[in-house]
């Protein structure tokens, strides 16, 4: 066994690694925003009295949570192709990741909604606020604040999961690694470097969400207490 590691040979490819990392973050950013919207809508849909909408939302969530992301990506990829629609690998990846994280977000948001005490909703009703206004002013922000740690963890997991998009030729970090290792014959060093880069990306994302939390939740920022 020849244990001759040559990190410098791989490290000099840092521009490619950087480009891959940037694309990974872009994928994660788009899917996070769109997935958060989709998941919140699905969580609201789960709570309606309309059995059809509530059932459809539940079916969406359970289907995504019980099938692998790789299968979902292929279904989106080949599904769009069979409809004759040609999209870039990036778009397909964002679509599949959005659908995936939307389901997990929906579950987390639903738990957040249910944690809002009934008394506050009654007080809002007593003040003649409409159902929509109650969701927007009374339920949404406090629910997000309650489940913020679980939500942000989910989005970091999403960034890690984006590595699977290498299988449909999206040029994110793992795809870059595959290319570089086949070019340099230094698979071990390449994947070690990429692993470290992903860990760094996770830390960057966590720091970003922590900062965002300070902006979104002024009460917490001022008083320093959880809701």
Partner 1 sequence: MGGHLNINHLMFLGQGALWTVGLSVIALIGGGIVGFVIALARISPLKSVRIASAVYVQLIQGTPLLVILFLGYFGLAAIGLKVSPLAAAGASLTLYVAAYLGEIWRGCIQSVPKPQWEAAEGLALSRTQRMTKVILPQAIRIATPPTVGFMVQIIKNTSLASVVGFVELMRSGQIVNNSLFEPFAIYAIIAVTYFAMCYPLSLFSQKLEQRMGRGRSTLAPA
Partner 2 sequence: MQQNPSPSEPIVSLRDVKKSFGPLLVLDGVSFAVQRGEVLALIGRSGSGKSTALRCIDRFEKVDGGEIVVCGHRVDRPDVNLRALRQDVGIVFQSYNLFPHLTIEQNITLAPCAVKGVATAQAKDLARKVLAQVGLEEKLHAYPEQLSGGQQQRAAIARSLAMQPKVMLFDEVTSALDPELTAEVLRVIEQLAADGMTMVMVTHEMGFAKGIADRIVFMHRGKVHETGPASILTSPTTPELTQFVGTGNLKS
169/81 Cα distance (integer angstroms): 15
Q: Which C-beta is closer to partner 1: that of 146 or that of 186?
A: 186
Instruction: List helix spans (H) across the chain.
Output: 7-11, 14-47, 51-65, 69-82, 89-114, 118-126, 131-134, 141-161, 173-184, 187-216, 218-223
Beta strands in the chain (DSSP E): none
Which position among 2, 50, 52, 222 is part of the footprint of partner 2 (CB under 8 A)? Answer: 222
Our finding on whether 213 is near partner 2 (CB under 8 A) is no
Query: Which pair of tokens denotes residue 135?
Result: 């969701």
User: 3-class DSSP state for residue 183?
Assistant: helix
Answer for the pair 211, 202: CB distance below 8 angstroms, yes or no.
no
What does the radius of gyration of the chain's CA atoms come to, in whole angstroms?
21
Which position among 49, 82, 224, 225 is part of the footprint of partner 1 (CB under 8 A)? Answer: 82
Which position among 117, 185, 215, 224 is part of the footprint of partner 2 (CB under 8 A)? Answer: 117
Least distance from partner 2 to the Cβ atom of residue 223, Å: 6
Indicate left, alpha or beta for 133 from its phi (over 0: left) and psi (-120 to 50: alpha): alpha
Letters for 77-96 (x = contact with partner 2 by CB under 8 A, - = none) are --------------------
Least distance from partner 1 to the Cβ atom of residue 217, Å: 25
Name the residues that contact partner 2, by CB under 8 A.
Answer: 117, 119-120, 122-130, 133, 137-138, 141-142, 145, 217, 219, 222-223, 225, 227
Name the residues that contact partner 1, by CB under 8 A.
Answer: 1-5, 62-63, 65-72, 74-75, 78-79, 82, 160-164, 166-167, 174, 177-178, 181, 185-188, 190-192, 194-195, 198-199, 202-203
């Amino acid at each position: 066994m020849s244990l001759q590691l040559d990190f410098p040979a791989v490290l000099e490819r840092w521009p490619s690694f950087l480009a891959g990392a940037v694309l990974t973050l872009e994928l994660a950013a788009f899917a996070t925003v769109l997935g958060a919207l989709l998941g919140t809508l699905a969580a609201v849909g789960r709570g309606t009295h309309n059995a059809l909408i509530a059932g459809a939302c539940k079916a969406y969530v359970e289907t995504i949570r019980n099938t692998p992301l790789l299968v979902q990506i292929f279904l989106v990829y080949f599904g769009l192709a069979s409809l004759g629609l040609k999209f870039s690998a990036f778009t397909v990846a964002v679509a599949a990741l959005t659908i995936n994280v939307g389901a997990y977000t929906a579950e987390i948001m639903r738990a957040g909604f249910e944690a809002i005490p009934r008394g506050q909703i009654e007080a809002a009703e007593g003040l003649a606020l409409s159902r929509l206004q109650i969701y927007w002013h009374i339920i949404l922000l406090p629910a997000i604040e309650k489940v913020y740690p679980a939500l942000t963890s989910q989005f970091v997991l999403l960034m890690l999961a984006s590595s699977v998009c290498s299988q449909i030729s999206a040029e994110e970090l793992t795809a870059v690694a595959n290319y570089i290792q086949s070019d340099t014959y230094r698979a071990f060093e390449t994947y070690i470097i990429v692993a470290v880069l992903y860990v760094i990306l996770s830390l960057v994302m966590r720091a970003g969400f922590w900062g965002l939390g300070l902006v979104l939740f002024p009460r917490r920022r001022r008083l320093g207490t959880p809701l």
